[in-house]
Structure 1
Amino acid sequence: MYAERGGRQAMGFNGDVQVVGTRGRIVMLVDNGVDGDSRVQKAARSAARSGWEVVLLGRAPGNVPRSWQLGRAEVRLLAMPDPLARRRHEFRRAWLRWPLAYPPSGIAAHRRQAVKAWQADLAVRRARLAMADPATPRRSMRSRVLQAEEVAARMAGKWVSARYWMLTRARTRRRFRNPWDRAYTLFWQAVKGDGAWRRLEPGLWDYELAYGPVLDELRPDLIHANDFRMLGVGARAKIRAAALGHEVKLVWDAHEFLPGVRPWRDNARWLPAHRAHEREYAPCADAVVTVSPALAEMLRDEHKLAGTPEVVLNAPTVGTIPPAEDEAAPDLRARCGVGSETPLLVYSGLASPQRGLDIMVEALPQLPGVHAALVVNKPDGPYMAEVRATAARLGVADRVHVLPYVAHWQVVPFLAGADAGVIPIHHWPNHEIALITKFFEYSHARLPLVVSDVKTMADTVRSTGQGEVFRAEEVADYVRVVTAVLAEPDRYRAAYDRPGLLESWTWEAQAEVLDSVYRRLLPGNSSAAGRAGGQVVEPEGRQPAVEVVP
């Protein structure tokens, strides 16, 4: 299975690009759909440009597999059914708490739809009866029968709704924070130690079953596993390869400090399970990289690593973009429908309550004439619906502009149209320890910054003078800082003239760090192609494929 490939000639996606004499095959793993994750996109693109043969595996939204080229790298999104993510209680009826609830078999939706169909049929029959000649035989009898059916349909609708409501409550009211669940967690931790995640969070196996076979088939020289879920997938592939006599190196790219992650659901098992999973497989990593010096030290101490992980900042790409992707970035002000004279604040990034976007809207009544552009991953999501509702309630809806993401290579020129970049995130452990992606994007757009007082970012802004810091979640202090920044924008923009500041905050500089990690782990592969990155041969008369949707 793992035959020696030596100086391989690797065919790129669909046979359209042939990379000759690659330095080695790198398979990158990420637990999302790749779109919107600029870090993994930049890592894949830059590694492929440096001569590595790169395949990036992600999870297909809607379980519809897709493949496309990202520069010289191949992206594959895999279908990932996740039946193990559902708990056993979700397949059972809650007889004691909700005795009349429908069984969780799908019959509830069927019954509700059937009642709606019955009521629709009755409405049509009532309309036909209304149009019938009053002298029609037995018309009054038909009317009484129809009336009785309508009463029965209404009663059936109430009955079905009540049982459906009970089913919904049975599903949503169960929380994994009751004494039984805590005891269950402690029991398996005591019995299995770090292996307890197999009982506490079996949904992690869904990733293994989707990614593992593809990873084995690709026979990588190096696996680059992004974040904690992919660490286990990569480690197990490395172990299987070793059993077959093939050495695979594993790089773990830790984006967050897991003990400081806020679980996305109310579940006492989630964090202990994922921490146990991470502890079990962290020793398998041949190298660890992460996003900030503070996080690097925390990971070293948490996992007793032999050395401090290398730091690869989430900095933007500022170099030349491939010709196929060099279209001009959209105009931020044009999308907002405002002119150059209008003060415009911008937020770019994930939309969630802990990101603090609410404060940008709540402050607008105290900032006359100021507009806010929110460039977010889910413009139509429930959280942004709440933000829009707040804007409408405060009478500032016309000054709040919710926009979708643009391509990652367009972000910096797109954001440059604003007067200031805002990072209003709340205090949370992982928010305190890193300079996040938007910090660097705002900086390269030469925007004055308005940031909350989370530690690392606030310290950096105070030291560079590129913006002002406000107390997180305090509207009055936010208004004070915004007013100051908009009054003297040139004062803050001047900070970017400091020699070497922006040059160190580029992905090109970070890619050098990442490439040095790869070269250290695979020294025998480096001679096959130099820093220029291998020879690319386009088959005569054909162009590289951009995307294929099977």
Structure 2
Amino acid sequence: MLVGNFIDGDSRVQKEARSAAEAGWDTYLIGRPYSGKREESKLGEVTVLRPAESMAATKYRTYHPRRSGVGGLIAYSTVELGKVKHQRQRIRQSNLAVERELLARRAAEGMNPASKLVDGAVLAARAFGVKAAGYWIAARKQALDHNYAVVQESPSTAIEQLLVKRGGEGAVWNAQPRLVDFEDSFGRAADELEPDLIHANDAEMLGVAVRAAARAKAKGRTVKVIYDAHEFFAGDTRDNPTWAPAMAAQEAKYLPLADAVMSPIEGYAASMVEFHGIEKFPGRKPPVLVKNMPALADLAAAGDDVPGVRGALGLAADVPLLVHPGSVTKVRGLQTVVEALPELEGVHAALLVGRRDGFVAELVTMAERLGVADRFHLLDYVPSEELTAYLRSATVGIDTLLHIPLHELTITTKFWSYISAGLPVVASDVKATSELTRELGNGEVYTAGDAHSFVEALRKVLADPAAYTKVYTDETLRGYSWEGQAEVMLQLYRDVTGLDVSAS
């Protein structure tokens, strides 16, 4: 099982790997190492392998910014070169002072006037040269800084974007060099393990898996590939304009060689069928839905006495507490919650975050400015198997996505966690989430990005939470659990490989 992240924060791949191992598969979950060196550990019966990676291609692109405009012609090609030139210039300037002192000393000791005149002229010329070099070095450094600024604002040129959209592998690798680095480390690991099945999570692992299967076939071994599409790239709005086209190009090229496709979101699956024409591939069935739902076994193992998020904050049982676990970016819409808190006297909000810089820090500053910092809390992530029990002591789960194409198709993992934790929800009116919320009757929907609308929806839920949570019957909870989803995944494994490891 391949995934291009550090594994620890990825609840989906952890559950997939644990379920595969529990079903009898000899399971290796392969992700990125924190140290850059090979790391190996256990996750239950799963072997977690993080192969060594140099990230050489990614580092090269980072430290060799693209040259832009006329100024780019004089820019230093690398940061290191700019530093070396700057260091030498400082030494030259310091050395001039030393040479002036030496000339003055020789003159004081009775230096020949003619020699003094010549040496003085030479020193003056040298000083002029050093000063001119300083201007030149400063100009080249300024051009280098400009290149970096341009890259930050627009990571790829229009030509590069065009070439990526056309699907050229070289252009894709140049624009997204991590694909080269992943092939170098993950591909070697796949060859070393000689698997029967490769489960590739996300598009950056699809090419790695297909190439490994092709190399195995050349050696007389059969390796099946399942592509687990976590995203639909046509709706991606990342700052890097080549990311989504590059990943779509990877899918277009390698999907015909994958043996099956699965996805956590119905909207993603349907969009992939339309975008890539999957149904036209010989013998290919539509993508199989395996939703990223919490495991009932994890909740049962935690028991009923987990203090959870409320205990971590030291809040009394009657204090209204909103909770949001997961990524925090502008398009997640959490600024709406902070803007609403001044109108919600006594209501607290807690975000479970992996880091506290960037936009998280902006939210903290906003809370301070609005005078609600004492009711706006940041907590660290908890392990995925503990998350549902941890959330259970909150009052309301919030899902605040803003309107972008990707979000219209999305049911977030946190939404399933709220159901398993027995929490009513307040969700924005993005299409998929709002439709499900209204269908289940487990919460209220507000206008995305509108703080007053959020306040109105939340007040309705807080007025009678039980009216929303009564829909969480045993049957509903079973229907929205990982156990049922895992069986769908394992059946796909059996169908694709023809192997029934549970019988062995």
TM-score > 0.5, shorter chain as reference: yes
Aligned mate of 2:22, from 37, 49, 52: 49
Counterpart in the other structure of 1:355: 332
1:58 paired with 2:31, answer yes
Cα 1:491–1:158 shift into 2, 3 Å: farther
Counterpart in the other structure of 1:311: 289
**Contact 2:350/2:376 (CA < 8 Å) preserved in 1?**
yes
Letter in 2 for 1:307: K
Letter in 1 for 2:459: T
Q: Distance in 1 between matches of 2:163 and 2:236?
A: 23
Letter in 1 for 2:422: R
Q: Distance in 2 between matches of 1:343 and 1:160?
A: 60
Aligned mate of 1:233, from 200, 204, 208: 208
Q: Distance in 2 between matches of 1:115 and 1:392?
A: 46
Query: How many angstroms does 1:172 deviate by?
Result: 2.3
Cα 1:228–1:189 shift into 2, 3 Å: closer
**Contact 1:421/1:447 (CA < 8 Å) preserved in 2?**
yes
Number of matched residues?
A: 457
3-state SS of 1:495 partner: coil
TM-score normalised per structure 2? 0.82
Query: How many angstroms does 1:90 deviate by?
Result: 2.2
Query: How many angstroms does 1:60 deviate by?
Result: 1.4
Counterpart in the other structure of 2:445: 469
Q: Percent identity?
A: 38
Counterpart in the other structure of 1:104: 78
Query: How many angstroms does 1:310 deviate by?
Result: 0.8
Counterpart in the other structure of 1:451: 427
Query: How many angstroms does 1:103 deviate by?
Result: 5.5
Cα 1:232–1:322 shift into 2, 3 Å: farther
Letter in 1 for 2:276: H
Query: What are the equivalent positions in structure 2 for 1:13-28 lying under 5 Å apart?
Result: 28=1
Query: How many angstroms does 1:241 deviate by?
Result: 0.7
Cα 1:114–1:288 shift into 2, 3 Å: same
Cα 1:111–1:356 shift into 2, 3 Å: farther
Query: What are the equivalent positions in structure 2 for 1:108-127 lying under 5 Å apart?
Result: none
**Contact 1:93/1:104 (CA < 8 Å) preserved in 2?**
no
Query: What are the equivalent positions in structure 2 for 1:179-190 lying under 5 Å apart?
Result: 181-186=157-162
Query: How many angstroms does 1:252 deviate by?
Result: 0.5
3-state SS of 2:4 partner: coil
1:366 paired with 2:343, answer yes
Query: How many angstroms does 1:287 deviate by?
Result: 0.9
Indicate the structure whose relative CO is greater, using CA pairs within 8 Å and at least 6 residues apart.
1
Counterpart in the other structure of 2:111: none
Counterpart in the other structure of 1:245: 220
Query: How many angstroms does 1:382 deviate by?
Result: 1.4
Query: How many angstroms does 1:43 deviate by?
Result: 0.3
1:432 paired with 2:430, answer no
Give structure 1 stretches of 5+ with no counterpart. Answer: 1-27, 117-156, 535-550
Query: How many angstroms does 1:301 deviate by?
Result: 2.1
Query: What are the equivalent positions in structure 2 for 1:51-200 lying under 5 Å apart?
Result: 51-85=24-58, 86-87=60-61, 90=64, 96-97=70-71, 104-106=78-80, 167-174=144-151, 181-186=157-162, 196-200=171-175
**Contact 2:446/2:454 (CA < 8 Å) preserved in 1?**
yes
For residues 466-500 of structure 1, the C-alpha deviation after alignment (integer angstroms, 9 at most, x for no partner) is 00000100111011111111111111111112x52
Cα 1:444–1:321 shift into 2, 3 Å: closer
Cα 1:160–1:54 shift into 2, 3 Å: same
For residues 365-394 of structure 1, the C-alpha deviation after alignment (integer angstroms, 9 at most, x for no partner) is 01111110011222x221111111001111
Query: How many angstroms does 1:272 deviate by?
Result: 2.6
**Contact 1:195/1:280 (CA < 8 Å) preserved in 2?**
no
Q: Distance in 1 between matches of 2:489 and 2:138?
A: 56
Cα 1:95–1:302 shift into 2, 3 Å: closer
1:38 paired with 2:11, answer yes
3-state SS of 2:471 partner: helix
Aligned mate of 2:275, from 287, 295, 302: 302
Q: Distance in 2 between matches of 1:293 and 1:458?
A: 15
Letter in 2 for 1:469: V
3-state SS of 1:168 partner: helix
Q: Distance in 2 between matches of 1:224 and 1:414?
A: 30
Q: Distance in 2 between matches of 1:110 and 1:332?
A: 51
**Contact 2:71/2:143 (CA < 8 Å) preserved in 1?**
no
Counterpart in the other structure of 1:206: 181
Cα 1:395–1:343 shift into 2, 3 Å: same
Q: Which moved more, 1:357-366 or 1:289-298?
A: 289-298
Letter in 2 for 1:355: R
Query: How many angstroms does 1:187 deviate by?
Result: 5.3
Cα 1:167–1:504 shift into 2, 3 Å: same
Q: Which portions of structure 1, spanning 4 or more consecutive aligned residues, are displaced by more than 3 angstroms?
A: 86-89, 91-96, 98-103, 107-116, 157-169, 174-178, 183-190, 192-196, 198-203, 320-323, 325-330
Query: How many angstroms does 1:194 deviate by?
Result: 6.7
Counterpart in the other structure of 1:346: 323
TM-score normalised per structure 1? 0.76
Counterpart in the other structure of 2:126: none
For residues 104-145 of structure 1, the C-alpha deviation after alignment (integer angstroms, 9 at most, x for no partner) is 2336567999999xxxxxxxxxxxxxxxxxxxxxxxxxxxxx
Note the aligned Cα RMSD (angstroms). 3.3
Task: Considering fraction of residues, name the structure with more helix.
Answer: 2
Query: How many angstroms does 1:300 deviate by?
Result: 1.8
Letter in 1 for 2:70: L
